[in-house]
Amino acid sequence: MTRRAVEDGFERYLSDLVDETYAAFDVAAVLRGSRGGGSKAVSKLLKNSRPLERHVVRPKLREYQREIMAQFEPVLDYAADSEATFEAHADEVLARDIYWNSLADSIRGDRREQIRETLLARQRTFGDDIAPLIAADSDEFWPAVAEVYDYEAAIDIVERHFEYSTPLREHRDAFVFELEIDPGEVLGGLARALPSLQVEFTDEALRSMRRAEQRVIPEAKSDVEHVFEE
């Protein structure tokens, strides 16, 4: 199987996850819970949440999708080279990791090192699991999975690697996800005179991602079942 085919296989489900996260994301709840929740800018944005979703939230989620696919590249480099050590790619993997790049400034010392090792171990396992797929004869994603794994292992891969929220769920206090909102860009007109807002959406990111995973992971498992029934 080609490296590109493996990447395309995962990207399909990542794209679905982003779409479902967007559908579940409650921007009004984020604004009401922001530090400027009583400000004039927030009041105007709450009355016009649809433009905010289109112009700020959805582009931000697409940006995260691109970043996840970009962090996939060094993992694929490791998986595609049977002689490579993960340590040779670890710095680049970490530099592209959206969780590592969203680590709160307050996380230092042993806790910071613990999270670093947790994130790297997650990516190393991912690389180890996709290496056999790259070497498979099939050019299609799920047939390649069925070629190198049994049913239980394939389901385990889905559960382990399609739950993108795992680091955030396990270390909720360690990460901070923020949006910068320019009311003028979203609403135009007199809103251009309003100050920009820096809004944290970490809790809503976790809630909406978990909701999305509850839809996408069963679909992926259904695809596994289908290919093993053939």
pLDDT recorded at residue 38? 46
Q: How confident is the model at residue 43 (pLDDT cuts 50, 70, 90)?
A: confident
Q: Region 197-222: what's the mean pLDDT?
A: 92
pLDDT recorded at residue 76? 93
pLDDT in tens, 108-167: 999 999 999 999 999 999 999 999 999 998 888 888 999 999 999 999 999 999 999 999
Q: How confident is the model at residue 82 (pLDDT cuts 50, 70, 90)?
A: confident
Mean pLDDT of the chain: 88
pLDDT in tens, 171-201: 999 999 988 877 767 667 756 666 677 788 9
61, 123, 46, 47: which is closest to 89 by C-alpha?
A: 123
pLDDT recorded at residue 107? 97
Q: How confident is the model at residue 87 (pLDDT cuts 50, 70, 90)?
A: very high
pTM for this predicted structure: 0.85
pLDDT recorded at residue 55? 77
CA distance 15 to 62: 9
CA distance 212 to 137: 32
Residues 194/183, Cβ–Cβ less than 8 Å: yes
